[in-house]
Structure 1
Amino acid sequence: MFKAIFTNSFGILFSRILGFIRDLLTASVLGANVYSDIFFIAFKLPNLFRRIFAEGAFTQVFLPSFTRSTKKSLFSVHIFVIFLSIILFITLLVNLVPELATKALAIGFDDKTVELAAPFVAINFYYLSFIFIVTFLSTLLQYKHHFATTAFATGLLNISLIGALLLSKGSADDVIVYYLSWGVVVGGALQLVVHIIAIQRVGLLKIIIGGFKYFNKKALHVKEETRVFRKQFFPAIWGNSTAQVSAFLDTWLASFLAAGSISYLYYSNRVFQLPLALFAIATSIAIFPRVARFIKNNEHEKALAYMQKAFWFLATILMLSTLGGFILSDEIVKILFQRGAFSEVDAVNTSFVLQMYLIGLLPFGLNKLFSLWLYASQLQIKAAKIASYSLISNIVLSLALISPMGAGGLALASTISGFLSFILTVKVFGTKQFLDIITSKKALYWLLAAVLFTFFLLWFKDFINGYI
């Protein structure tokens, strides 16, 4: 288990380091202004779809269904064709009416800003087709317990964007955004290439080729399996997308605030997402195939043993990350972003938003772990209900907190909704099972580590401030 977790973690760390380099360059070259807001808006919806597919609904429904399928080639290709057709249609629609798509993404933008942003929204949407194919192939690789390619491949997107920033440095802001938008598309194409190579090396290419070869003749043989998949998938989209939809709503509401607010949310969320991806998502991806197989074979004790190991690993790492990030938020933002066009005021505002996000790191991360139990147990409808309650609370709290707290209020609203989602997920997982996990001697060591680490951080904060 831990080998797979660390493989994912190192790959994600590699990608996130490149991502921070990209963000440093973006902050330095573009700063926090209307053009940086335009790019983040343009990339928001395809990136939202990426997170839903790659880290959520598709993988967590397709993998158990694929495991249970008696005709894996036909089933996988049938699902692939259906989804790719839908995504290509959406991409065509966005390119035909980019102004409407842009207005939907940022309703607070005035007509002039919408006109500026629309071409970039259309370009960024080409990324969506690439990333769906990548997600489909990465799920097949997970079935073979091959995680390295997907974990490291995300770095190719960041390399592409870094290249775009370096090539466009010194150009007008609209030219820089143009380069960045095509950089997103090139990054998606590069990810696809390495996944095709990995699929061929692990011997899965013949499954895909066989599925296409007999697709027309034998498609009816997987009709029932496909129907069950579709029935589970749409609740899974809703149940697995709360955090992403919340982030989308944050951006939408922030478009009504002062220029730069969308960028404050973006930069702070990038820092927040690092430990979430590095540990919570990496752990969930690593243990999901085995947990799904254990539950399928009615080996619940083995599944719970995996969950317990993963819980204490995640709880410790995320607790330390929360304390470290919250106490050192000013220093983190200054070191990472405060240079060039990114001012001290921008750093202060971003730091506050980061703190509001970090309060929810532990429940968000642990929710990733416990929600996979729901999907492996095919409890998609219950997961969808939990997501609905969480999203409603986020909307209400966002509207209540945006006026007194600005962008920080939007981040805090997402955090509170994350707590609610975690509590409800644990209830479905089983309160007794959860208490069996946390009522042990490890809980005392965990609390002691939290206290000692807090004292260390307070000392380190004073120490590091002398050098900033």
Structure 2
Amino acid sequence: MGKYNIKRTAAILIIVTIIEKLLGFGREMVIASQFGASGLTDAYNAGYLIPYFIMALLNAGLVNVYAPVFISEMEVDKDKAWDKMNSISTYLMIILFVLTIVGILFSEKIVGFIYSGFEQDKIKITASISKLFFIGVFIYSGSIIEGSLLNCFRSFVYPIISISLLSISTIIWVLLFGGTANINSIAQGYIAGALVAVVMQYIKIRSISNRFGINFKPYPQFARKFFGLLFPVLIATSISQANVFVGRIFASYLPSGSMSYLNYGNKVVELPITLFSTIIATIIFPDIIECINKKDDRKLKIYVNKAIVTTLIFLIPSFAGLCVLNKEIIKLIYQRNMFTSENTINTASALLYYSPTIIMYGCTAIISKIYYSMKDTITLMNISIFTIVLNGVLDYILMRPMAHNG
């Protein structure tokens, strides 16, 4: 891809991502306005997190493994590459279907085990939400597979649009059917958006190639290679996501609303990370793969250095702004109707302590692509194990004196 194309693609992605993030904030604003920061929103955040864990694993695994494997296979035999990836995708969806059924059947027991600090009534509400999100995440998993494939063809916009569809449908559903107590409307809107996203990306893929589809033919040798690369990524991602779980588990022992403060604050922090580092990492990923395959270290260093410098130019001011204006930002985004001034203060404090992670996560998003391109997923797994242990220890120590800020 030439420089002009990279700049043009980056500009388009930034515009689309800004729209997607604004819609995401719109969704959070509607939820905050409708339900505030309460036991209900804690139940939503807890219930969503369990099936989201599966989606995050799939997303990280496919985004970082699908592209290197598929691109390598395409260079050897295009037709066989499609057959193999269709087979992998088909069996992945079968596995996810089984996990979805298990999640629905045992949701209350799973919720009770993970969020042992919740009272029984809150466990039941959380389990009800979790069942709906299991369905939604299973449907959206098809969209993730499609998006990973589109990234291989440098079609980056459609996967971002698919995320926007989730926000749009959730906003509409909550406004129409939310009331002040129907917290399930959030999950119902998610399901509707996931269906539209799957159909939209399927149409786009078919416009690129008519080879995409279901394939039950097994390719044992290729499957071992693919899952051999995927498994360490899943472990690393599961440990990374466990960081979120650890925080939520401790938050379940804190007063109602604590989990919501963490979620609302985290959503704000995600904006600059996604807008700058994630977009840049996504754009340069195919080029990093190409440099690794051709063993062109000089060009690889140029790509990575420019990506990190560009990211820091935007992330350092973002970090400073969130530190200084955290209360004003939260008030502007969330404070209305059911979201009170007390909610603003508590969410702003969570945002303040989340702010330093912007720079670390921003650089990690780019550097990790090098390891994925080299198919070195073991190193990332080991790093993730260390971080989850450290996070758990610090959460335990800091929760008592600092509440949700710890």
Letter matched to residue 65 of structure 1:
V
Equivalent position to 2:89, from 80, 89, 96: 80
Residue 119 of structure 1 is matched in structure 2 by: 128
Cα-Cα RMSD: 1.6
Equivalent position to 1:323, from 284, 306, 320: 320
Equivalent position to 2:387, from 373, 383, 390: 390
Letter matched to residue 146 of structure 1:
S
Cα deviation, 1:44-83, whole Å, max 9, x if unaligned, reads: 12333333333x2221112111122242122201211221
Residue 34 of structure 2 is matched in structure 1 by: 29
Per the TM alignment, residue 241 of structure 1 is displaced from its structure 2 partner at its CA by 4.6
Residue 3 of structure 2 is matched in structure 1 by: none
1:393 and 1:227 map into 2 onto residues whose CA distance is 33
Equivalent position to 2:187, from 181, 185, 198: 181
Per the TM alignment, residue 21 of structure 1 is displaced from its structure 2 partner at its CA by 1.2
Residue 357 of structure 1 is matched in structure 2 by: 354
Counterpart mapping for 1:327-406 below 5 A: 327-406=324-403
Q: Using a 3 Å threshold, how does the CA distance of structure 1 residues 306 and 240 change in structure 2: closer, same or farther? A: farther
**Counterpart check, 1:141 vs 2:150:** yes
Cα deviation, 1:413-446, whole Å, max 9, x if unaligned, reads: xxxxxxxxxxxxxxxxxxxxxxxxxxxxxxxxxx
Per the TM alignment, residue 161 of structure 1 is displaced from its structure 2 partner at its CA by 0.7
Structure 2: gaps spanning 5 or more residues: 1-5
Counterpart mapping for 1:13-412 below 5 A: 13-54=18-59, 56-69=60-73, 70=77, 71-169=80-178, 171-173=179-181, 176-203=182-209, 206-209=210-213, 212=215, 215-216=216-217, 219=218, 222-409=219-406
**Counterpart check, 1:5 vs 2:10:** yes
1:241 and 1:9 map into 2 onto residues whose CA distance is 28
Q: Using a 3 Å threshold, how does the CA distance of structure 1 residues 47 and 7 change in structure 2: closer, same or farther? A: farther
Letter matched to residue 255 of structure 2:
A
Instruction: Report if aligned partners of 2:61, 2:234 keep a CA contact under 8 Å in 1.
Output: yes
Instruction: Report if aligned partners of 2:56, 2:237 keep a CA contact under 8 Å in 1.
Output: no
Question: What percentage of aligned pairs have identical amino acids?
Answer: 24
2:212 and 2:35 map into 1 onto residues whose CA distance is 43
Residue 459 of structure 1 is matched in structure 2 by: none
TM-score of the two chains, using structure 1 as the length reference = 0.82
TM-score of the two chains, using structure 2 as the length reference = 0.94
Letter matched to residue 164 of structure 2:
G
2:206 and 2:113 map into 1 onto residues whose CA distance is 40
Instruction: Report if aligned partners of 2:67, 2:148 keep a CA contact under 8 Å in 1.
Output: yes
Cα deviation, 1:374-395, whole Å, max 9, x if unaligned, reads: 1101111111111111111111
Q: How many correspondences in the alignment? A: 396
Per the TM alignment, residue 352 of structure 1 is displaced from its structure 2 partner at its CA by 0.8
2:63 and 2:379 map into 1 onto residues whose CA distance is 18
1:116 and 1:48 map into 2 onto residues whose CA distance is 19
Letter matched to residue 308 of structure 2:
F
2:250 and 2:10 map into 1 onto residues whose CA distance is 36
Letter matched to residue 312 of structure 1:
V
Per the TM alignment, residue 104 of structure 1 is displaced from its structure 2 partner at its CA by 3.6
1:53 and 1:115 map into 2 onto residues whose CA distance is 27
Letter matched to residue 323 of structure 2:
F
Instruction: Report if aligned partners of 1:265, 1:353 keep a CA contact under 8 Å in 2.
Output: yes
Letter matched to residue 207 of structure 2:
R
Instruction: Report if aligned partners of 2:322, 2:352 keep a CA contact under 8 Å in 1.
Output: yes
2:268 and 2:220 map into 1 onto residues whose CA distance is 44
Mean alpha-carbon deviation: is it higher for 151-160 or for 107-116? 107-116
Mean alpha-carbon deviation: is it higher for 85-94 or for 245-254? 245-254
Letter matched to residue 383 of structure 2:
I
Letter matched to residue 394 of structure 1:
N
Per the TM alignment, residue 105 of structure 1 is displaced from its structure 2 partner at its CA by 4.1
Per the TM alignment, residue 264 of structure 1 is displaced from its structure 2 partner at its CA by 0.1
